[in-house]
Amino acid sequence: MSDISYIDRSGEAQFGDFVALLKPRVMSLVVFTAFVGLVVAPMPVHPFVAFTAILFIALGGGASGALNMWYDADIDRVMRRTANRPIPAGRVSEGEALGFGLALAGISCVMLALASNIFAGAFLAFTIFFYVIVYTVWLKRRTPQNIVIGGAAGAFPPMIGWAVATGGISLESVAMFMIIFLWTPPHFWSLALFMKDDYSNAGVPMLTVTHGRRTTRKQILIYSLILAPVAVGAAFTSIGGPVYLAAALVLNALFIRGAWRLWRRDEEVAQAEKYSAEKRYFYFSLLYLFGHFSALLVEKGLGFFGMGGW
Amino acid sequence: MPITQTHELHQRRFSRNLGLGAVLLAFVVLVFGLTVVKVNRGDKMEAYDHQPRASVLPVAPEAKQ
């Protein structure tokens, strides 16, 4: 009965491996945008209920992360960036990840519905369905449009936060959705520009692989141009205001300028410079999103002093 | 049947079990906290249970105060 001790002990799944299945870094974005969506809504939410709601929205996002890692384990084994995830590294079995993800998905939706309202819980369930089935299973391996449509899954959290407070959907929550939805393609395509080998090895139809890098650069510019009026336009809804408008104008101008530079860039020059401008654009895109949602928070905060909004 | 022998597995999974214990404890605290908040707020504590009852009818806003 001692044969079990011959198995390499370093392979034992620790608590941290199950946390890693939840994609904590993606979760931080979910927590932040859901928090903003909940806070800027006109109805006040009890702080403890708000905390619980955001916790379970994050857990639902984590559950979809675990289910994504279960389905994509074969791709993750091939890509350098993901080869050390718990399943490809052999610390967690695929079945464990599936069970873990399904259980957490159920718990998070039911608990969100009980803590806030049924609509928010159902919305979270739909988001998990959208990310796991629509994006991961149907689109990711079939079409270069995968992240355009799949980006919707990442854009739902502020709408869920808003639904926790109001129990519904409105123009403001759709505006927050559209900002993240239109931001996702340039964000990920700029990543794909400097991570090219990985995606082609794994056979994921990234735009850079299927339509070439020239087209990708053009698409980044197109999306940044569509995004700008939406992001600036959100300033004129009930959650916007002068501070948000100023932040949106600056951030969008910089975002378009960056996209313009990427579009003008020659492929050889980019490669010679080790894709420094592409990397900078990618990191700026994170700041871009953070900036917009922070500005919305600032407007809400100023509102308590009678200064927020128009 | 109680576990009388400590297997090597018990040490190996100690941190994992400790973590799970903490998560479950936190969950209990969370549900209790939610209950306290909802009771204090005067939320409806009963749902429809196959028989019409006056206590589950929505309260008119003026009667609440």
Asked whether residue A163 falls in the same domain as residue A180, the answer is no
Least confident interval from A48-57, A94-103, A143-152, A164-173: A143-152
The answer to whether the Cβ–Cβ distance between B37 and A4 falls below 8 Å is: no
Give CA–CA dist A142/A137, Å, rounded. 9
Q: What pLDDT score was predicted for residue A215?
A: 93
Asked whether residue A88 falls in the same domain as residue A181, the answer is no
Would B18 be classed as within a structural domain?
A: yes
Asked whether residue A192 falls in the same domain as residue A53, the answer is no
Asked whether residue A98 falls in the same domain as residue A206, the answer is no
Q: What pLDDT score was predicted for residue A298?
A: 96
Q: Which domain holds residue A296?
A: 170-310
Domain final residue pick, A167, A191, A218: A167
A45: phi > 0 → left, psi -120 to 50 → alpha, else beta; which?
A: beta
Would B28 be classed as within a structural domain?
A: yes
Give SS3 for A126: helix
Asked whether residue A182 falls in the same domain as residue A287, the answer is yes
Percent of residues, chain A, with pLDDT higher than 90:
74
What is this model's ipTM? 0.82
Would B58 be classed as within a structural domain?
A: yes
Contacts of residue A124, Cβ cutoff 8 Å, sequence gap at least 6: A56, A57, A60, A108, A109, A112, A160
The predicted-structure confidence for A240-249, as pLDDT tens digits, reads as follows 999 999 999 9
Asked whether residue A122 falls in the same domain as residue A175, the answer is no
Would A33 be classed as within a structural domain?
A: yes
Query: How many structural domains are present in chain B?
Result: 1
From chain A residues 65-124, the ones with a CB under 8 A of any chain B CB are 114-115
The predicted-structure confidence for B6-50, as pLDDT tens digits, reads as follows 787 777 788 888 999 999 999 999 999 999 999 898 877 777 778
A64: phi > 0 → left, psi -120 to 50 → alpha, else beta; which?
A: alpha
Residue in B12, B16, B41 nearest the CB of A15: B16
Asked whether residue A20 falls in the same domain as residue A146, the answer is yes
Give CA–CA dist B25/A4, Å, rounded. 31
Statement: residue A9 has pLDDT above 80? no
Q: What pLDDT score was predicted for residue A258?
A: 96
The answer to whether the Cβ–Cβ distance between A14 and B37 falls below 8 Å is: no
Q: Which domain holds residue B22?
A: 8-64
The predicted-structure confidence for A202-231, as pLDDT tens digits, reads as follows 878 888 888 988 999 999 999 999 999 999
Would B31 be classed as within a structural domain?
A: yes
Q: Does B10 touch chain A (CB under 8 A)?
A: no
Structure tokens at A257: 């300028």
Asked whether residue A194 falls in the same domain as residue A140, the answer is no
